[in-house]
Structures are given as structure tokens and as C-alpha cells.
Structure 1
Amino acid sequence: MALGISVALCTRNGARYLPAQVQSICTQEPLPREIVLSDDGSSDGSVAVVRQAIEACGVASRVALTVFENKPALGVTRNFEQAIKACRHELIALSDQDDVWHPGRLARMAACFDARPELLLLHTDARLVDGELRPLGDTLFHALEVQPGELEAIAQGRAFEVFLRRNLVTGATAMFRRSLLASALPFSDEWVHDEWLAALAAATGRVDVLPEALIDYRQHGSNQIGARRPSFADKLRKAMDTRGSKHVQRWRRAQALLERLLALQGVVPQAVLEAQRGKVAHQRFRAELPASRLARWLPVLREAASGRYARFGRGKQAIVQDLLERG
């Protein structure tokens, strides 16, 4: 028996793009059994646009619609948390308001869950398009500089090892089992919803990736979170930037995840707990580096020699950043 699918659709002033997205959802085979719409204080009639789009597709009698209208707005993570909590079916697909799903997306992803009961979360690549859906000649994974070894490690069941270094899961491409919420709720204040779900899924079960693009991912001026491959100049500019509070925030994120994993007694393997403890220690080290560039050289080189930059960060890129950032 096919698993039921819920769609968690979050909106905020997305009326311009919503008809195309809703149509792409409502022409999937199989149809999702429900759409949970959580609107974050829109002033452009986004909720009415979604209702009209569902009616126009002729599926209103077959796709249940639940609507939340937040006033005041909750923010991206809490908005998605609200929608996700209200989803009733076994598989939950996340949806941004401005993307377009390719035909067959739900069938392709749901088949993986049908065949693999151990699979908790699945994500994919995406085709990057402009505001008018014109292809930009790039994909999300290319923009993120995803390496073949990272995809291979995820496919081999070592997603947590990959996510210790960086997140590769974009919520708009993801589907997960509702059972994941037993460990993921409530979402951490320190994390974005998709990164949090990916981390908990990797720590408690199996994550996998499909390397093909199954959605069009719009890039436009109103993106909450966009994707663009950084140039060498971008990387150099970032390396020379001020340290600010980002390293402290990353330390807090790592600590928040460790605390959640420790609370899930008997669910999280000891190796995962030890790895996350190492991540916390590394992020604390980076957060506590001195303001003086000269004073950072010896401790950074020692940390590099230990291998922790390679295990818990972007390796040489992170080393250069810690040596060159302004205090």
C-alpha cells in the first residue's frame, strides 16, 4: 500500500509565484493527500491564491487543505514547524512558495521510502532558475560545491559524518517520515528547520540523496535563502571579513544539537554522540581564538595538524579563514 503524503507549504507574500507551485504539486502522481498551508502574515492575498489554485486544478475534493494564518509572523523556522506538526500522513514533503516541482517528483521519492523502511529523510538536487523560471545553467549541488565523495558517503549511510562538516540538505528538495518528528520536535532556536531535520535524521536513522534535480529552485531578489556558487573573490572576501559572532553562533548550534542527542537516550549511537562532542569542542576552539591574527597562527596550525578542521569543517578553507579574518 502506498504511503500517504502530506505537503507542508509555507508562504509569506508569495502570491506572484504560488499559482505555478500549487499547480505543480496538484498535478503530481500520486497526489498528496493533504496540503498544510502556514502563511506568515502575508498582505498580498497568498492564502486566497492557494485556495484558487487548488480549485483551478480540480483536486479540491481529493487534497485536504489545512490553513494557518500567523499574525504576527512566526519567522521561517517556526512557520515550517507549525505546518509540519499539523501534517497527518506518513511522508512529509516540504514546499517553498516560489519553486516548481517536476512531474513525477513525488512518485520518484515516495518509491524510495516504500522500498526502504529504514529511510528517514531523502533529498535531491534542484535546477536553478530565475524569477520567470528561465534556467540559469546551474544546479543547486554545483552552486554548493557538493563533492562526489560527499554524495557517496551519504549513500553509504554516513550522512552524519558529512553533516558534521556542513549541511547539504535544502528543505525545498526534502521529504521525510513523520516518525522523525519524535526526535526533532521542538525545533531548536539555533537552527534553520531543514538543517535541524537533516541532522536529527542522520543521527537517528538513514538519510539518502538522489543526485537528479526534481524541482526548479527560483533565484530572485526576494529569496529568504538562495543559492549561488561563490567565486574565488567571494571566498577571499569571506576569509578576510570580520569574525563577528558567527563562530559563537556555530558553537551554540553544535551544543544545542549535542544536548538534543543526549536527551534521546538509547536512540543515538555512541559513535554519533562522540563525534558531536568533538564538533562542539572544535567550534568552541574557533569561537575562542584571539582577535590578533598573529596570536592565532600557532593554535590554528595545531588544530589543523589534529585533523579536526577536516573532520568538523571545510578543511583548508576554514583554516585560511581562521588565519585571515579580522578580529
Structure 2
Amino acid sequence: MTSEPLRVSVALCTFDGVDFLEPQLESILAQSSPPDEMVIADDGSTDGTLEIVDRFVERAPFPVTVVRDPGPGGVTANFERAMVATTGDVIVLSDQDDVWTSDRIAATRRRFAADDTLDLLFADADLIDAGGAPIGLRLFEALEISAHERAQLASGDAVPVFLRRNLATGAATAVRRRLVDRSVPFPHEWVHDEWLAMVAAITGSIAMDESVVVRYRQHGRNQIGMRTPGLRQKISRVLEPRGGRNHALAARGRALADRLADGSIVAPTDVVRAAEEKAVFESLRADMSPRRLRRVGTIAALALTGQYRRFASRGDADVLRDLLQPET
């Protein structure tokens, strides 16, 4: 348990966020326990976002630093800029278009103060529509987090979970500063929250909080959004042409494996080996023939050796996806 009070920073990123930014900023001002500082990183907005930010800076009862980039450089680079510029012990991440619960910072401060080993905390959220009305769905429901995944996280065995898929949504995530120091530079192949969660799982301690800390807005311009796919959407996903997704997964897997192999992120030998196996798995999937029949041998070999179960986001269900996706 930490004896000295933790300094809490907020890292908020903006890009053409004029439609939804003000409610988010108001929810930060309304916190029962204010942050010790806030860093707002803008990625080249041209729609009036910076005017809203400037008015907020004048009103805020805590220090606010604005990092302006001509951009756009993308969400990952923008969050890296914001987080590196903070000085707090704990950094609470903020998107530009959500609304926080009033005790988010207080609850975050308590949780990190109670556990010196905790590096990343990700929580649940209520999903709302563009107008702010509840959708009737929680974030963890939308992610369809399984009982097995919950059990693995509770036991401290987070690496296999995050090698398969990311569960930590940045809008509901807080991290300790030392995790950022271990994680930079963020690879461009990864989204910031996915990368931080992966590094936390490998090098430190990660925890899942079932409480709601944010109202997570879903709208057409979300940089990263979340909805639960219905049966029709799931079938459509299986039948969509192969292409960019597979190559993106392969690039991400290779970026992680290389960072572990060169020692820039220190990891146990078995984790380094697992990351390399994940990279090879995703590369083989990306390089499969566009013709279904020619994929069968590779898919069968990967399935029979348990690699879909170990590394694919939907486990063995992705066998069907790889078999059925049409030719490009």
C-alpha cells in the first residue's frame, strides 16, 4: 500500500471532436476528486476543438497542458504524446467523446494506492448512443468476455488472454507511469490501449474492474467503437473477403515478438517464445491462399496443433472464418 498520496494525471486526446468534447470535459470538472493535472493532446483539429480546449484551460481548477501537433498522426501516436507529457504517478486515459462517472478518479486513486504492484486497471462502461441515451448494453457484454478469461485474469495469468485478443478499452483504462516508461515507443502497428495492456500483462500486473467508470459513446465517427454483433453481422464477418485485417494482425504480432526478442521489453523466456509463435501463427494466416481449397492444409495443421485455441481472438471459431472467407 502506498503511504504518500498518489498524483493522478488525465491524458485526453482530441481530433475534430467539437460535437462531443464539451460533455466529456464537464464530467472531468465534476469529479468528486479532481486530478492533479491534465494533458490534452490535439492531433491537428480544424473544427473548433481547440477553441473549446482553450476555454476549458481558463476554467479548470487544476493545471492543464495542451500539446498541439499539426497532425494527423493517428490515435496511437497522439496518446503516446499525451501520456509522456504527464507527471503523475497514475494516468487516467480519456477519449474525447464519452462521459465519466463522478467518482472515476477517486476510485482509480484508491485502487492503485491499495496495490503497489498494479500497473494497469481496465473497467466496464455503459454504452450510449450519439445523443447520450443508454443502449442497454455494457462494454464487457459487448466484448463477450468469457468465464475462462475472467478466471485467467483473476489468477494473474494475463499473457495468454491478451495474446489472443485485447480486453482493455482505453476509455475505461488507467495505468501507472512506470508502465508507460516500459512501453515507449508505442509501435504504430498497435492501438495504444492494446499495446499498454499487452506490456502490462507481460511485465507487471493487470486487473479487471467490473464497475462502470464511463458512459462510452457509440457514433459514426468513433475512432474506436464497440457494439455487440448480431447473428447477421457475425455471418457477414465470416464471409467478408480476406485482406487488411489478417495483415494487420501479422504486423502486430511481429512488432511484439521483435520488441521482446531484442530485449527492449524484458520478458521471461517462455513469453518471448509464445510471442514468436503468435507472430508466426498470424503470418501463416495472412499468407494463406486466396483460394479456399488451398488453405485447408495450413488451417488443418494450425488447428490440430491447438494454435487457433491459443492465439486466435475467437479460438477455434476462427477456423471456420479462415475456411469460409471468400477469395479476394
The alignment's TM-score, normalised by the length of structure 2, stands at 0.94
1:256 has 2:255 as partner:
yes
* Structure 1 equivalent of residue 65 of structure 2: 66
Offset, 1:11: 0.8
- Give the C-alpha shift of residue 7 in structure 1: 0.7
Q: Deviations over 1:59-97 (max 9, x none)?
A: 43xx11111222232221111111111011110111011
**CA deviations over 1:250-278 (Å, ceiling 9, x no partner):** 11110101111223368311221121122
1:211-226 equivalences in 2 (<5 Å): 211-226=210-225
Q: How does 1:47-62 map to 2 (within 5 A)?
A: 47-53=50-56, 55-56=58-59, 59-60=60-61
- The residue number in structure 2 matching 1:3 is 6
| Structure 1 residue 173, shift from structure 2 partner | 0.5
**Paired residue for 1:321?**
321
Q: 1:113 to 1:263 in 2, by over 3 A?
A: farther
Deviation string for 1:214-270 (max 9, x for gaps)?
100011122111111011211111111211132222111101011112233683112
Instruction: Report the Cα distance in structure 2 between the residues aligned to 1:92 and 1:35, rounded to whole angstroms.
Output: 9
**More deviation in 237-246 or 249-258?**
237-246
Q: For 2:251 and 2:71, how far apart are their aligned partners in 1?
A: 27
Question: Mean alpha-carbon deviation: is it higher for 97-106 or for 146-155?
Answer: 146-155
Residue number in structure 1 paired with 2:166:
167
More displaced, 281-290 or 224-233? 281-290
Say which of 36, 41, 45 aligns to 2:39. 36
Deviation at 1:311, TM superposition (A): 0.6
Deviations 1:125-153 (A, max 9, x none): 11000122111100111112111221221
2:113 corresponds in structure 1 to 114
Relative to structure 1, the CA distance from residue 102 to residue 273 in structure 2 (aligned partners, 3 Å threshold; closer, same or farther) is same
CA distance in 1, matches of 2:261, 2:86: 27
Residues 110, 264 of structure 1: alpha-carbon distance in 2 compared, 3 angstrom cutoff:
farther
* Structure 2 CA distance for aligned equivalents of residues 160 and 127 of structure 1: 26
CA distance in 2, matches of 1:274, 1:310: 17
Q: Does 1:75 align with 2:78?
A: no
| C-alpha distance in 2 between matches for 1:258 and 1:202 | 14
Q: Which one is further off, 161-170 or 237-246?
A: 237-246
My pick for the range that moved more, 111-120 or 39-48, is 39-48
Q: Is the 8 A contact 2:309 2:316 kept in 1?
A: yes
235-244 or 186-195, which moves further after superposition? 235-244
Once residues 265 and 192 of structure 1 are traced to their aligned partners in structure 2, the CA distance between those partners, rounded to angstroms, is 19
Question: Could you state the TM-score of these two structures normalised by the residue count of structure 1?
Answer: 0.94
Equivalent residue of 2:164, what SS?
coil
Please name the residue that 2:101 is paired with: 102
- Rounded Cα–Cα distance in structure 2 between residues aligned with 1:266 and 1:234: 38
Report how many residues are paired.
323
Question: Counterparts in 2 of 1:229-268, with a 5 A limit?
Answer: 229-264=228-263, 267-268=266-267
Give the match for residue 46 of structure 1: 49
- The letter for the 1-side match of 2:274 is A
Corresponding residue for 1:125?
124
Q: Which moved more, 1:209-218 or 1:107-116?
A: 107-116
In the alignment, the residues of structure 2 paired with residue 259 and residue 218 of structure 1 have an alpha-carbon distance, to the nearest angstrom, of 35
1:183–1:264 Cα contact (<8 Å) kept: no
Paired letter, 2:31? Q
One-letter amino acid of the counterpart of residue 139, structure 1: R
5+ residue gaps, structure 1? none
Structure 2 Cα separation of the partners of residues 296 and 92 of structure 1? 45
2:41 equivalent to 1:12: no
* Cα displacement (A) at 1:100: 0.6
Code of the aligned partner of 1:202: A
d(CA) in 2 for partners of 1:243, 1:22: 40
Question: For residues 16 and 292 of structure 1, what CA distance do their matches in structure 2 show?
Answer: 45
Give the deviation of 1:55 after TM superposition: 4.5
Partner-residue secondary structure (3-state), 1:213: strand
Whole-Å separation in 1 of the counterparts to 2:291 and 2:23: 52
Deviates more, 1:67-76 or 1:180-189: 67-76
The alignment yields a C-alpha RMSD, in angstroms, of 1.6
2:288 corresponding residue in structure 1: 289
Sequence identity percentage: 41
Distance change in 2, residues 1:3/1:131 (3 Å): same
CA distance in 1, matches of 2:26, 2:178: 28
